[in-house]
Amino acid sequence: MKNEEVTNFLDNLNHPLRNEIEMIRQIILNSNPKLIENIKWNGPNYCDESEDRITMRIQPPKQIQLIFHRGAKVLEQPQSRLINDESKLLAWKANDRAVATFKTLADINSNQSTLREIVNEWVKAASS
């Protein structure tokens, strides 16, 4: 469920990619009912059992990036990537940190099912 605090935060931003942000919010929240939405690092953030897992980077306002991670604390790196991403939607920064970048509604729309799968796989793998 969308968090009213996040909606109010976004309302005050007057962000040029607001429709894209809203579409991604809905995809993430519909993907996994365990995820709780809040604000962290000046953007929407998604937690599983109070652990940060996905953070939306909305500045600068030319694209939307989803940062997939295992929380704010540095953890020992896994031997291999946390999930297998056949789609190549993720750009890997480390074995436990990846970024998906979206610039248009069409881009988000064409990757909806893949993004849902990634969200669920990530939450499961990051919690293990």
Predicted local confidence at residue 39, as pLDDT: 97
Q: Which long-range contacts (CB under 8 A, 24 or more apart) does 34-37 make?
A: 34/123, 35/119, 35/123, 36/3, 37/1, 37/2, 37/3, 37/6
Spell out the domain ranges in the chain: 4-127
> What architecture is domain 4-127?
2-Layer Sandwich (3.30)
**CA–CA distances in Å: residue 41 to residues 8, 12, 55, 57:** 16, 16, 8, 8
Amino acid at 19: N
Per residue in 12-49, pLDDT (tens digit) is: 998 999 999 999 999 999 999 999 999 999 999 999 99
* Radius of gyration in angstroms for the set of CA atoms belonging to the chain, rounded to a whole number: 14
Predicted local confidence at residue 1, as pLDDT: 84
Predicted local confidence at residue 78, as pLDDT: 79
Residue 38 β-bridge partners:
45
CB 83 within 8 A of CB 118: yes
Instruction: Check whether 111 has a pLDDT greater than 80.
Output: yes
Instruction: Check whether 128 has a pLDDT greater than 80.
Output: no
Per residue in 41-85, pLDDT (tens digit) is: 999 999 999 999 999 999 999 999 999 999 867 677 778 899 999
Per residue in 83-101, pLDDT (tens digit) is: 999 999 999 999 999 999 9
